[in-house]
Each structure stands twice: as C-alpha cells, then as structure tokens.
Structure 1
Amino acid sequence: MEFVWTSTVIAIIAFALLYWLLEKYAFGPLFGVMEKRRELVQEQIASAENSREEAARHLEEQKQALQEARKEAYAIIEQAKSTSVKQADDIIATAKSEAGRLKEEAVKDIETEKNKAVLSLRSEVSGLSVKIASKIIEKQVDEKEQKQLVDQYLKEVGGKP
C-alpha cells in the first residue's frame, strides 16, 4: 500500500469542508433546538418547583386555618359550658331566694293565723267564762253540777267552727 499524500490532503479538505457546512447549516440549528429544549426543561423544572412550594405553602395555610378553627370551636364550647354553669348557678340562687321568701311568708302567715286564733280563743274563753260565772251565780251548784256545766260549754266550743 502506498501512501498518497494528495488523497490525504483532499480527504482532510473534504472533511473540513463537510464539518464547516455541518456546523453552519446542521449543528447550529440542531444545537439551537437542543438549547431551546434545555431551557424549556429548566423552566418546567423551575415551574414545578414553584408549584410544589406554593402547594406546600397552601397546605401549611390550610393546616393553620384548621388549627384556628379548632381553637375557635374549643373556645366556643368552653364559653357555652361556662355560660350554662353560670345560668344554672343563677337559677339555683334564684330558686333558693324564692324558696326562702316563700318560707318567710308562710311563717308570717302562720304567725298571723296563730295570733288571730289566740285572740278568737281569748274572746270566746272570756265570753264563756262570763256565761259560766253567770250560770254559777244564778244557781248555787255543787261540784258535780259545776263540772257538768263546764263540760257542756266545752262541747259547745268544740262544736263551733
């Protein structure tokens, strides 16, 4: 095999010319398309990262809102419990004071009725005493008749309403 330097030079020139043509017309647009594709992929990655961060932020906000709602619900329940306890205490206190007032009125009514009964009894006793004394004076009675008179008047008193 013989080495032909002209063939080698022509092959190198042809290769350089082909490389230059490919560089100008094929590699440039191909690398441009690949660069655009790389930029698009990076934008999509960045967009996905932003979306993930935003989703995480929204999730955290939702967790905080849920926590706040739970706190508010607990506060409302506690307030309702304290209000119901206070109302129950107020009702019990009112009932006790009303019962005390009714008891005092009943004691006063009983005392008044007792005083009326005593006055009525005194007037009847004094009237009966006068009647008994007049009967005794009208007739001199012995002890047996006097006892019968007293029993008779006591029966009359017991029969009167």
Structure 2
Amino acid sequence: MNATLSNLAAGLLSATEEGEAASNPIIPEWNEVIWGSSAFFILLIVMWKLALPPIRRAMEARTERIQGDLDGAANARSEAEELRTQYDARLAEANTEAARIIEEARASAETVRQERLAAIEPEIAERRAQAEADIEAARERAMAEVRADITSIAVGAAEQVVRASIDEAAHAQLIDDYIARVGN
C-alpha cells in the first residue's frame, strides 16, 4: 500500500514538473466522461437484452409458485375447516348417542331394581311374619317359664310357711289330698 501511495505521489510530482496543469481529482476529463458513458450505455443495453428477460421469467415463475402455494394453503385451510366441522358434528352425534345409551342403562337398571324389589317383597313379608311368630312363641315360652318359676317359688314359700305351722299328721293329710286330686 505504501508502494502505491509513493507511486501516486511520484506521478503527481512528475506531472507538475513537466509544466502541465494538474488535473482536478473531482471533475474528470471530457474524454473519460464520454468513454465511461459509452461503456455504461453499452453495458446497459447488453444487460437489458440478455439478462433482464431471464430475470423477469424467474420472477414471474416465483410469483406464480408463491400464488400457487397461497392458493393451496387456502384450499387446505378450507378443507381443514370442513373436516373440523364434520368432526364436531360427529362428536356431537357421539355425545348424544352416549347420553341416550346412559339414559337407557339407567332406566333399565331402575326397572331391574323395581322388579327385584317386587320379587323379594313377598319373601320379606314372609320372613317378617315368621320373625313375628318366632318372637310371639319365644314370649309365650318365657311367660310359661316365668309362671313355672313363680309357681315353684310360691310353692316353696308356701311349703316353708306350712312346715312351720302344720304338724306331721296334717302334712301327711295334705299330701294325700293332693295325690287324690292329681289322680282325678
């Protein structure tokens, strides 16, 4: 880079030494402007004729591909919405069917329960009557046992009272009377 600067500086010094006027670095010479403009327009025409048509075709193809993708996405979205609508309808139908089946099962279970209660009702009534009869018989037995116990206690107490106040002859007479009465 230093070499380039030194060459440039040397070139400027040599131009000024020969007595020529130094060229202005900002404003170019007319022959450079003409040659540069000619090259620019030739290059522009060549690019316009050779490069621009393929670029336009590529851009149009890209535009068509993007439009096709957008159309395909719109179609896919509408199909997805239609499928979702169908799915929602089927789901609602399935929920309705499930609710109907559950209701039928409840009604059937209630019917079976009523039938079983009706079938077991006579058996329950029979067992209740049997239990009441058993309770009555047990009560009668208990009353009989209580009467027997009271009778034996009364006889024992009477025996104690009679022994104390009756002599042996009266006692023997009492036994004979009792045996005679039982024999009749």
TM-score (structure 2 length as normaliser) = 0.44
Q: Which has the larger radius of gyration?
A: 2
- The structure whose RCO (Cα within 8 Å, separation 6+) is larger is 1
TM-score (structure 1 length as normaliser) = 0.50
